Amino acid sequence: MAENRASLIFQESFQTFKVFETLPFEIYGIQIKGHSKTIWQILNHLVFWQEYQLTTFEGKNDQAFDESISWKSTNSPANVEELNQKIQAFLSQIKQIELKASSFLLNDLNDTLMLKTMIELSSHLSFHLGEIILLARLENVYPQPEDMSGFLEDS
C-alpha cells in the first residue's frame, strides 16, 4: 500500500538545495568570524554522520556516535578532486537514505528504529545545510531567500 510508505513523510526531506554543486572551491575553507567550523568541516561531519546512520539501518552500530571524531578534518580540501570526491560521497549517501525511506512501511513495528533514524537524518541534514547556506550567503556566493525559487528551478 503506497500511502503507508514512509517515503511520503520524507518526500523532499533530503533535498540539498544544490548547495554543494554550486559553491566555489574557495569558499569551503573560509573561516567566517563568529563561526567555529568551515563549510569543508561541516561537509566532512555530514558524511561521517550519515555513514554512521546508514550502518544503523543495517544493525551494525554497537557504539554510540562520537561527535568529536566527526569534526576532525582539515579546514579546507587539499584540492578540487578531494572536494569533488567528498561531495560525491555525500550525494551517494543521500541517494541511499532516500532508497531506505522508500523501502519500509510505517505499520511495520520492526521499523521503529528506521523511522527514528530517518527523523534524525532529516533534521540533522536540515540544520547543517541551513548553516552552510547562511555561511555562503555571508560571502555572497549563494542566492538570497527571495531568489531561491528561480535558482532551484534552473538546472
pLDDT digits (tens, 9 = 90+) for 90-120: 999 999 998 888 777 666 645 677 778 888 9
User: How crowded is residue 64: how many other Cβ atoms within 10 Å of its Cβ?
Assistant: 7
Q: How far apart are CA 103 and CA 17, in angstroms?
A: 24
Query: Taking the C-alpha atoms of 127, 38, 136 and 20 in order, what is their torsion angle to the nearest 10 degrees?
Result: -70
For residues 20 and 64, the answer to whether their CB atoms sit within 8 Å is: no
Which residues, in sequence order, are CB contacts of 100 under 8 Å at separation 6+? 54, 57, 114, 118
pLDDT higher than 60, residue 1: no
The 8-class DSSP code of residue 10 comes to S
- Of residues 56 and 40, more confidence is placed in 40
For residues 137 and 40, the answer to whether their CB atoms sit within 8 Å is: no
Q: Could you give the domains of the chain?
A: 17-153 (1.20.120)
pLDDT higher than 60, residue 2: no
